[in-house]
Structure 1
Amino acid sequence: MLKLLPALLLLTLSHNAYAEARALRFSINDSWAMPMVRIEDGKAVEGILVDLHQRLAAKVGRKAEMVVMPRMRVQHALDTGEIDVRCYVSPNWVNSGHHRYIWSLPFMTQRDVLAGVTPEKLEPEQLLNERLGTVLGFTYPRLEPLFASGQLQREDARTQDQVLLKLSAHRYQYAISNELSLHWFNRQQPAERKLHIINEIASDPIACIVRDAPDVPTMALLRAMVQMKQAGEFDELLARYR
């Protein structure tokens, strides 16, 4: 019996360490809209990212804590260790890499589109003296020269959903939206009020950034994402919200 005590003690300690492992902290940008996330009373309650975060955390034996914050705070929070994982981000949106975190493989593509109230096909460069619905703090590289020259004027709203609501109400004739949010918005509109894709303005690979620190199962999370990609789990998840 005495010979079994060290093994039993090690098993107990391992079990306690597993049980006491803290939740993984995932950032949620408060300007996102469905189908990415729905936020109620400052909490993320449903959407693609809620499902993704919960699934990723479960695969490494943790719970997911979703921290809602303004977009401008997210990268700083990752750099300073306030959050562990930032998902739905593109290398094209981050100025530089950092030794404190590691990129995952891309799990989807975001397409930003020029949307309008009428079906037509034109390039954004053809617009002149138009107010364009945009999300506060978001940058649109293709359009920045047009904003800088005064050819187009930004009209910012706090969230992507608010941008589309204002477009639907004809507060302006054109707006920028990611394709997923536009399709989700149109699901709730009668045929005569559906918004239209006029042109694609950007296409970016979307991935996660995982903080590389002893208290984060960094490599396990990255491996889990590779396995999810190979098993088609990302496509399955996205299909539920299309």
Structure 2
Amino acid sequence: MRWALGALLGISLSVSASDPPLRFAVADSWAMPMVQFERGRPTQGILIDMMLSLATQVGVPAEFHVLPRTRVQNAMEHGEVDVRCYAAQSWQPNQSGDYIWSIPLFFQRDVLISRHGETPKVDPAELPRQSIGTVLGYIYPTLQPLFDAGQLQREDARNQNQVLEKLLAGRYRYAVSNQWTLDWFNQRLMPGQQLQGVAVLQEQNVGCYVRNDPKVPVQRILRTLLRMKMSGEIDEIIRLYTGSTEANP
């Protein structure tokens, strides 16, 4: 995997220095298998591999801007970044600015999780008053009415991995994670320690959106993403990290 990433980096760096870079927003709340950070810089993962390949095929260098989740949309609106991936229109209903969305590229499943040995199936609406592990700035539509009513309280962590570490340490009984990150996290744990999904909260397709600016090769980006999805390239990147490609429902 690192060889493939290195090859993509080499190709990307070989692009003419006169070409303006394609600036990607990278949320610092992401975790593997989406993104791995080393000393605050993204080094590999499904999204990084996809972004590098996209920039290479478009013919421009890739530039990654690591931002807090709550700053990403503001950076898009102010022209600090050009492309945001792994997003859904429902996550920003009041989105301001001129953007064009790609076709759906990924399938995300959000699950309520607990430590091993807890009740295997749970109805969130029936949980007694307690804190739930969440990521700062993330929206959880299924749980929001319960947060609004005070039945459940958010306990935010900076990133998804911290949420899982806190759950494992017993800081709370339940937390929210996407399925990919949960599976990746469990790989390092013994079967009796692994965290378990107890309820599916939401399933949806996510993609990328591009700032509609004459300085950005918008149509080339969208055509390339379409080609990468239709050719199976994106699904192959997913398979390399997760061992499978989950078909959209």
The answer to whether the 8 Å contact 1:92/1:204 transfers is no
Show the counterpart of 2:230. Answer: 230
More deviation, 180-189/34-43: 34-43
| Post-superposition offset of 1:131 | 1.8
Give the TM-score of the pair, scaled to structure 1.
0.89
Show the counterpart of 2:110. Answer: 112
Q: Which has the larger radius of gyration?
A: 1
Q: What amino acid is aligned across from residue 61 of structure 1 in structure 2?
A: G
| Post-superposition offset of 1:192 | 1.1
Equivalent of 1:93, from 87, 91, 94? 91
The answer to whether the 8 Å contact 2:37/2:43 transfers is yes
Runs (4+) of structure 1 moved beyond 2 Å? 96-100
More deviation, 63-72/96-105: 96-105
Equivalent of 2:40, from 36, 39, 42? 42
The answer to whether the 8 Å contact 1:109/1:205 transfers is yes
CA offsets, 1:131-154, max 9 Å, x none? Answer: 211111212111111112221122
Q: Distance in 1 between matches of 2:133 and 2:233?
A: 33
**Pair 219,98 (structure 1): closer, same or farther in 2 beyond 3 Å:** farther
Q: Does 1:139 align with 2:139?
A: yes
Q: Distance in 2 between matches of 1:130 and 1:97?
A: 32
Q: Distance in 1 between matches of 2:53 and 2:85?
A: 13
- Summarize the alignment of residues 198-213 of structure 1 with structure 2, pairs less than 5 Å apart: 198-213=198-213
**Pair 99,69 (structure 1): closer, same or farther in 2 beyond 3 Å:** closer
Q: Which runs of 5+ in 1 are unaligned?
A: 1-16
| Post-superposition offset of 1:40 | 2.1
Equivalent of 1:69, from 49, 67, 70? 67
Percent sequence identity over aligned pairs: 46
Give the TM-score of the pair, scaled to structure 2.
0.87
CA offsets, 1:85-127, max 9 Å, x none? Answer: 0111011101245552210001011111000113511211121
| Post-superposition offset of 1:18 | 5.5
Q: What amino acid is aligned across from residue 203 of structure 1 in structure 2?
A: E
**How many residues in Structure 1 have an aligned counterpart in Structure 2?**
226
Show the counterpart of 1:13. Answer: none
